[in-house]
Amino acid sequence: MTETSQTQLARNQLGVPAIVFLVLAAVAPVTVGIVVLPLAISHGNGGGTPVAVIIVALALLLFAIGYAQMTKELTNAGGFYAIVVKGLGRPAGLITGLIATIGYNVFVAGALGTIGFFTGAVALPMIFGIELNWYLCGFVLFTVVFLLARSGIHVSAIVLGVALVLEIILLLSFAFSVLIQTGFDMQAFTLAFSPEVLVGGSIWIGLLLVATAFIGFEATALFGEEARDPRKTIPRATYVAIIVIGLLHAFAGWAIVSALGVKDAQAQGLAHEENGDLTLMLIEKYLGPVMGMIAVILLVVSLFAAQLAFHNSAARYLYALGRARVLPRWLATTNVKGAPQRALAVNYLFGLVIAAIFVVAVDTDMPPIFTLVPVGLGFGTLSIMIVQAIAALAVVVYFRRKRDPRWWSTFIAPGIGFLALLTFSVMALLNFDLVAGSDAIYVVVLPWVLVAAVVGGLLYALYLKTKRPKIYEGLDEDLESFTELPEDAHMFVE
């Protein structure tokens, strides 16, 4: 299968640092520090949260060992969709692609509500004393995100790199300030599983909430076609991303629980849960009110960076499925910069329309943090977790079918990773109201959308196989065309 310059993503654009920036920006370190870690402390294993971060990171690294072997054999903008096609077959791949595409696109809509709310209702009133409508703020910032994404993936990587550096500086400054003043107390690790720390909480809920803080690491495979030497770049970027995310979150979590007192961390977290200001309060206490205000600004920067990263990821799933003709072929059109312009436009319009529906039809008096955000981020997170678990199984099955002799890297390590990801997915389903942050009826029923996607995917696969066999066979052919990339595959003819 030959691609023209109008349907080919820009080649040779991204090295390991750029891909790591794209992934870490999606993870949004400051957002995790301000929102996710306090939730894990409040509802999980309290002062032992840093250990939960390390456990999740180790589980994901085990999966990444097999994932890395897979990406050496397969380079495709479809990410986990492509991996599942190779490992579990076309129907499973089609289902995975649909779940991932729906999940990422809905996630972007939720992220629009998040950044709009924190900009219009939090940052602007705090800095300038004015409050603006969240949808207006979200629309303006999402439009900037869309224009940046259209400018090419290298532009996104530069912007995200700058944002990420600022986020890391803030978190490390806060963490070192706390830990120096508390004498680098190790109780967060030595007492992690003691009854006095776990009282009122659950290590399983802690692991689940911490696992949501790693959502985005899987995006490394989405940029394989745009990477330099993808067989080396993608595995390295995956390892680096998981390790950096794990260390950064564990370090920040250590600082938070040390500031609160390891044994009292959970009670303190619950006391601040309604206002959601636990980490911001600690930053202001240890770094001063000016840094507290800067932290709010960087929260918006963090959300903007995450929006840009997930916008790129969502578009690449649309692009890949369009190129495979599962979705309309015109989605696989790129501009002169090699950006999937139509897929980006579809995701942009989809996000605006979904957000607009919540403005005019769903709890119009409620801020989006209680309506759109739980729907978008909750459903998106659940979808991505399930896709990760399916991909982990696909890696194991693929290499066992080939009878690969490397038992550790192709069976044992990814097998343990699959069990961990499966556990996280089941926990997310059983505790979806906690993951989403809402128990509204339109939130609680969202997991059934995934059931519909599974049924719809199976029926669509059957339709393609019987009525449009060329497209059905092409699901695998599209992947094969990228299995052996020629040396000059990076060249992009404008």
Q: What is the DSSP letter of 11?
A: P
CA distances for 443 relative to 82, 279, 433, angstroms: 29, 27, 7
**8 Å CB contact between 69 and 463:** no
376 domain-assigned: yes
**8 Å CB contact between 215 and 387:** no
8 domain-assigned: no
487 domain-assigned: no
Q: Which residue, among 287, 286, 269, has the nearest Cα to 278 in the 3D structure?
A: 269
288 domain-assigned: yes
329 domain-assigned: yes
Where does residue 330 fall: left (phi above 0), alpha (psi -120 to 50 degrees), or beta otherwise? alpha
Which residue range(s) make up the domain with 373? 16-480
Q: Cα separation of 262 and 305, whole Å?
A: 32
409 domain-assigned: yes
Q: Cα separation of 419 and 424, whole Å?
A: 9
C-beta atoms surrounding 65 within 10 Å: 21
Q: What is the pLDDT of residue 483?
A: 39
C-beta atoms surrounding 168 within 10 Å: 16
Q: What is the pLDDT of residue 10?
A: 63
Burial (Cβ within 10 Å: 0-12, 13-18, ≥19) of residue 200: exposed
**Tokens in use for 10?**
């820009």
DSSP states of 449-482: HHHHHHHHHHHHHHHHHHH-HHHHHHHHHHHHTT
488 domain-assigned: no
**Residue type present at position 11:** R
DSSP states of 230-264: HHHHHHHHHHHHHHHHHHHHHHHHHHHHHHH-GGG
Q: What is the pLDDT of residue 259?
A: 94
**8 Å CB contact between 390 and 88:** yes
428: part of which helix (H) or strand (E)? helix 413-430
**Tokens in use for 461?**
């696969």
493 domain-assigned: no
Instruction: Identify the CATH number of the domain in which residue 390 sits.
Output: 1.20.1740.10
**pLDDT averaged over consecutive 10-residue blocks of the chain (494 residues)?**
53 78 85 90 88 92 88 66 86 90 93 92 90 95 94 81 89 96 88 70 83 82 74 86 94 94 88 82 94 92 90 89 89 87 96 93 76 88 90 92 89 94 90 83 88 92 91 68 36 28
Q: Cα separation of 318 and 110, whole Å?
A: 18
Q: Cα separation of 454 and 42, whole Å?
A: 34
Look at the chain and report how many structural domains it folds into.
Answer: 1
Q: Which residue, among 171, 195, 157, has the nearest Cα to 245 in the 3D structure?
A: 171
Which stretches within 32-152 are classed as H helix? 37-43, 49-73, 80-88, 90-117, 124-128, 134-150
Q: What is the pLDDT of residue 200?
A: 59
Q: What is the DSSP letter of 223?
A: G
**8 Å CB contact between 41 and 53:** no
CA distances for 420 relative to 46, 59, 425, 447, angstroms: 21, 6, 9, 20
